[in-house]
A = this chain, B = another copy of it.
Amino acid sequence: MTAEIITVGTEILLGNIINTNAAYLARECAKLGLSDYYQVTVGDNAERLAEVIRTALLRADIIILCGGLGPTEDDLTKETVAEVCGKQLYLDENSKNRIEEYFKKKGREVTPNNIKQAMIPEGAIILENNNGTAPGVIVPFENKHIVLLPGPPIELIPMFEESVIPYITKLMPGVIESQTVKICSVGESAVETQIKDLIDSQTNPTIATYAKTGEVHVRVTAHADTEQEAQKLIKPVVNELKLRFGNNIYTTDEKVSLEQAVVSLLEASELKVSTVESCTGGMVAARLINVAGVSDIFKCGFVTYSNKAKRKLAGVKKSTLEKYTAVSEQTAKEMVSGPELGPKADVIVGITGYAGPTDTPEEPKGLVYIACNVCGSIKVREYHFSGSRQKIRESATTEALVLVRDCVMDYFSEKTFG
């Protein structure tokens, strides 16, 4: 089956917002096994929107529209779909009550505009909105399915997950299951080379690689009659990937991020971490603290951007800075050799580098040293990143997390086997 994604909104045509909804919906459609050949963005204009819907009805089985369900006169997606399909709108009492309750809860008055959101095309399936006022709808039309979703991602995503995925799944013959294997410390082309034979021989399951900053995700997707059969097809491929990439796989759970994997590893190891950051300026700490409940393993963070701060807070020697400069293996090492300040951590990670924008032979942009101290055992790695100042800092942040993971694992394997 094929899907077409239509995003409605003048703010996208003006480039005021980035169309993350289309990316989200496309990813979900791919996971469901729907082929998406076209994505179209159109403004809040009835004539052009109707034209786009008519074209989509000629070339897709499922048409997903998002945006234009709001209370203002500009919002006309529902009205236009009803017109294209020759359906009337009626006032749905249940939706009206839900909208009134929503406003009551917020202590605000319902305006007549808001009641417009309870107008539903005849024969449509209503998708309740637990995060806003506009209900979604699915309009079945001539063997096609037109899905209308609200524009705000905070409303669209839960509605898609709770109501649209089950609806589409029922339409599809068989099931699609997928599992994501997330790899760090290996570059994209190296991953692809190592699994070229698997990719070349793939039919079901299929294997796809996605490069992220400092990570590669491999998604294994199977199509089968039942979930169980699909999982049976996926499992041997995932096992083969585990064999080939070993410890470089930090998770096989789609929902686990690199920072979550690092936090879980530290928790399991009963180790507490501190950060000492120069060029990343707090980004490593910020990523760790993005994980809820991190206070159990996060001791404290220091941002030591100036040489003075490196000396006073991280205990880097003046002579080291003078002899080797602030961006050197020696400085990185001293940054994690235990700041004398604050509560003591078991693991200390330190980052120093040139993030640009200047780029000189003395201070080459992208040169970064990251050091990690696990219970006294220190490792320092040298990196050469490229891109903008922000990109270099993001790369360094990811690699700092990867280094922490590597060093903690090494520490335990040495303790066990060393």
Q: Which residues of B contact A17 (CB under 8 A)?
A: 23
In the complex, what distance in Å separates the CA atom of A328 from the CA atom of B121?
Answer: 50
Q: Which residues of B contact A39 (CB under 8 A)?
A: 12-13, 19, 40-41
16 contacts across the A-B interface (CB closer than 8 A): A12-B26, A12-B39, A13-B39, A15-B29, A16-B210, A19-B23, A275-B282, A281-B289, A292-B357, A292-B358, A294-B305, A298-B306, A300-B302, A300-B313, A301-B303, A341-B341
Tell me, yes or no, whether A377 is within 8 Å of chain B by CB. Answer: no
Complex partner residue of A289 from B28, B282, B290, CB under 8 angstroms: B282
In the complex, what distance in Å separates the CA atom of A203 from the CA atom of B123?
Answer: 44
Tell me, yes or no, whether A114 is within 8 Å of chain B by CB. Answer: no
Q: Copy number of this protein in the oligomer?
A: 2
Q: Are B393 and A290 touching (Cβ within 8 A)?
A: yes
Contact A26:B13 (CB < 8 A) given known A300-B302, A341-B341: yes
In the complex, what distance in Å separates the CA atom of A19 from the CA atom of B290?
Answer: 25
Tell me, yes or no, whether A390 is within 8 Å of chain B by CB. Answer: yes
Interface string of A54-96 (1 = CB under 8 A from B): 0100000000000000000000000000000000000000000
Q: Are A305 and B295 touching (Cβ within 8 A)?
A: yes
Q: Which residues of B contact A22 (CB under 8 A)?
A: 12, 15, 19, 41
Which one of A25, A277, A285, A358 has the greatest number of beta carbons of chain B within 10 Å? A285
Chain A residues within 8 Å of chain B by Cβ, number: 73
Residue on B nearest A42 in the bound complex, by CB: B38
Tell me, yes or no, whether A110 is within 8 Å of chain B by CB. Answer: no
Contact A30:B48 (CB < 8 A) given known A286-B282, A286-B283, A389-B292: no
In the complex, what distance in Å separates the CA atom of A304 from the CA atom of B299?
Answer: 8
Tell me, yes or no, whether A232 is within 8 Å of chain B by CB. Answer: no
Residue on B nearest A52 in the bound complex, by CB: B38
Q: Are B286 and A342 touching (Cβ within 8 A)?
A: no
Interface string of A19-37 (1 = CB under 8 A from B): 1101111111110000011
In the complex, what distance in Å separates the CA atom of A26 from the CA atom of B10?
Answer: 10
Residue on B nearest A290 in the bound complex, by CB: B390
In the complex, what distance in Å separates the CA atom of A104 from the CA atom of B5?
Answer: 43
Q: Are A14 and B38 touching (Cβ within 8 A)?
A: no
Residues 256 to 306 of chain A near chain B (Cβ within 8 Å)? 275, 277, 279-286, 288-290, 292, 294-295, 298-306
Q: Are B301 and A301 touching (Cβ within 8 A)?
A: yes
Q: Which residues of B contact A48 (CB under 8 A)?
A: 37-38
Q: Are B304 and A300 touching (Cβ within 8 A)?
A: yes
Tell me, yes or no, whether A343 is within 8 Å of chain B by CB. Answer: yes
A276 to chain B, nearest CB (A): 10
In the complex, what distance in Å separates the CA atom of A238 from the CA atom of B30?
Answer: 47
Q: Are A281 and B292 touching (Cβ within 8 A)?
A: no
In the complex, what distance in Å separates the CA atom of A282 from the CA atom of B29?
Answer: 36
Residue on B nearest A280 in the bound complex, by CB: B286
